[in-house]
Amino acid sequence: MSGIDEIEEWTRAQRRVIDLVRDLPPERSGLAVPACPDWTVRDLLSHMVGLGADVVRGDEPDDHNEEWTARQIERRADDDVATLVAEWESLTGPLRTWMAAHTTRPLGDVIIHEQDLRGALGEPGAQHTAGLHAVRERFAGRLAGRLGDRGPVALVGDGWRWVSAGSESDAALVLRTTDFELARALVTRRSADQLRSWVERGDVEPYLEAFALVGPLPDRDLTES
């Protein structure tokens, strides 16, 4: 994935999210987010804004725990979407500077949650961006680190192919679907039943826990189409 400017990809994703939510009426901002079932659209936006503010301020625990994210939403409980957008826009420059000096880790949050918002709002898009590709590669590496003594896994998309070790012919488990579906599965946005439906070879059951990279697998199917 060399050649990707991840700071620019973060900025583009931020702009897409802002364009997606800026003119939302209250009833739309109050919709539940299936990928984050405890949150509404406005809550999720509050988290995205709050994460940026906390990172710039130096308040970022390693585990991004529930108490930390809950505080981001609580602090902005009285803010409407316009206020949240204005706060986030004020953080664009400081967060770009922070990422240049530290790490582009915030890219993952905005890319993952952009699609969560799109799923809630029924507004598919941005499914083949360089930023999403970079996050997919990042989480594929994390999956490899969770496999333990399970056999190698091959993920086969419509353009992207990845094998945890060896070659595809050596893989104990082969999952085949689209590039985008694999990207979402790697950030724990696909259910066990969805993973089962992609099996081309092997048994996915022993691997399900390894795919729970960002919390438990969803208890129902998710889609952004």
pLDDT tens column, 112-168: 999 999 999 999 999 999 999 999 999 999 999 999 999 999 999 999 999 999 999
The whole-number pLDDT of residue 19 equals 98
Structure-derived torsion over alpha carbons of residues 163, 166, 169, 170, reported in degrees to the nearest 10: -110
The helix (run of H) or strand (run of E) holding residue 173 is strand 173-176
The whole-number pLDDT of residue 10 equals 98
The whole-number pLDDT of residue 2 equals 57
| pLDDT, tens digit, 9 for 90 and up, residues 8-45 | 999 999 999 999 999 999 999 999 999 999 999 999 99
Residue type (1 letter), 18: I
pTM exceeds 0.85, yes or no: yes
| pLDDT, tens digit, 9 for 90 and up, residues 81-113 | 999 999 999 999 999 999 999 999 999 999 999
Residue with tokens 């898009």: 125
Alpha-carbon distance of 83 to 106, in angstroms, equals 21
66, 47 Cβ separation under 8 angstroms:
no
